[in-house]
């Protein structure tokens, strides 16, 4: 039985996955509607939404439950978190699809679909569109509500480290098209991450983001932005209906803005990918 079916409490396969995906789309829609002057933000079930959605990175099922109980809107599985926390590897694209799926399944078995799960799938776990399609289908089966896929080369690096390299816009659009084509649930969210700012500059990053949406991406993750004005530029380029993620990772290129600052700049979702992991690691070091 798939993780999606196990979360259903008696429902058929895919039923609960759909509700998790729909919940995420409701969250995005509510915040975007509020941002564009559409009235008070609601997640579709009568709940009042925060000014910006907040997504907590979780290293394992227990920390995911903690984040859910603390009231975060979403949970996140970081590729770097899986690499270092679960495997003891640096974030250099070394982990496999199965490595990530192991952590995803453990989380979705215990966290209810009202708190959707976003998963980092790096560049898609392979050089072929078949590999990307397999990743999407497996993520849906495992109970994830969304993934983000990036435009770095296969031998990728952490988004806030130097010497990154990106593939062509055309190659990234082909990745997105493969991901969209593989969806077995139309509500499953495909988010495109671009690392182009550090490599090609803001103008290229903006053009890439627009091309990625045109290729079928539901949301955009512009990595390692250095100024609030850059978020405003992405919002202006993409229009009012495309969710934009802001990565609030500590020790990165992006200043740690407040939710209100990000909301004003046009971001939809604030991501805290490794905050708890770093705090846990510091505590463990003191104990040991």
- Residue of 120, 151, 185, 187 with catalytic role: 120
Asked if 151 is an active-site residue, the reply is: no
- Residue of 25, 68, 193, 235 with catalytic role: 193
Asked if 158 is an active-site residue, the reply is: yes
CA distance linking residue 201 with residue 147, whole number of Å: 25
- Residue of 106, 148, 175, 235 with catalytic role: 148
Which residues are registered as beta bridge partners of 272? 56
Asked if 91 is an active-site residue, the reply is: yes
- Residue of 21, 55, 158, 173 with catalytic role: 158
- Residue of 21, 68, 91, 183 with catalytic role: 91
| Contact in structure between 243 and 192 (CB atoms under 8 Å) | no
Instruction: List alpha helices for 90-190, DSSP H.
Output: 97-110, 129-142, 169-182
Asked if 247 is an active-site residue, the reply is: yes
CB atoms < 10 A from the CB of 49, how many? Answer: 20
156: tokens are 């990728």
- Residue of 23, 25, 76, 151 with catalytic role: 76
Backbone angles phi, psi at 179, to 5 degrees: -65, -45
- Residue of 73, 185, 218, 223 with catalytic role: 223
CA distance linking residue 168 with residue 15, whole number of Å: 37
CA distance linking residue 178 with residue 103, whole number of Å: 24
Closest CA to 235 of 222, 248, 252, 217: 222
Asked if 148 is an active-site residue, the reply is: yes
Asked if 76 is an active-site residue, the reply is: yes
- Residue of 122, 185, 187, 218 with catalytic role: 122
128: tokens are 């072929």
Q: What dihedral angle (degrees, nearest 10) is formed by the CA atoms of 223, 174, 168, 95?
A: 60
Q: Which residues are known catalytic residues?
A: 76, 91, 120, 122, 148, 150, 158, 193, 223, 247
């Amino acid at each position: 039985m798939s993780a999606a079916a196990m979360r259903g409490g008696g429902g058929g396969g895919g039923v609960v996955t759909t509700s998790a995906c729909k919940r995420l789309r409701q969250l995005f829609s509510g915040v975007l509607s509020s941002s564009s002057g559409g009235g008070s933000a609601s997640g579709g079930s009568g709940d009042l939404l925060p000014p910006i959605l907040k997504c907590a990175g979780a290293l394992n099922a227990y920390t995911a439950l903690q984040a859910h109980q603390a009231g975060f809107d979403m949970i996140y599985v970081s590729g770097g978190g899986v690499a270092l926390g679960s495997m003891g590897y640096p974030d250099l694209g070394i982990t496999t699809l199965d490595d990530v799926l192991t952590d995803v399944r453990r989380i979705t078995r215990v966290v209810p679909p009202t708190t959707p799960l976003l998963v980092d799938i790096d560049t898609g776990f392979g050089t072929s569109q078949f590999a990307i399609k397999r990743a999407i289908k497996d993520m849906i089966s495992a109970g994830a509500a969304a993934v983000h896929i990036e435009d770095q080369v296969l031998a990728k690096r952490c988004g806030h480290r130097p010497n990154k390299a990106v593939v062509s816009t055309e190659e990234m659009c082909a990745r997105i098209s493969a991901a969209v084509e593989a969806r077995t649930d139309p509500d499953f969210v495909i988010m495109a991450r671009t690392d182009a700012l550090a490599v090609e500059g803001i103008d290229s990053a903006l053009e890439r983001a627009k091309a990625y949406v045109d290729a079928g991406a539901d949301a955009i993750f512009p990595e390692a932005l250095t100024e609030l004005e850059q978020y405003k530029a992405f919002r202006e380029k993409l229009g009012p209906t495309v969710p934009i993620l802001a990565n609030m990772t500590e020790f990165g290129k992006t200043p740690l803005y407040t939710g209100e600052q990000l909301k004003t700049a046009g971001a939809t979702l604030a991501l805290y990918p490794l905050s708890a992991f770093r705090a846990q690691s510091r505590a463990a070091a003191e104990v040991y």
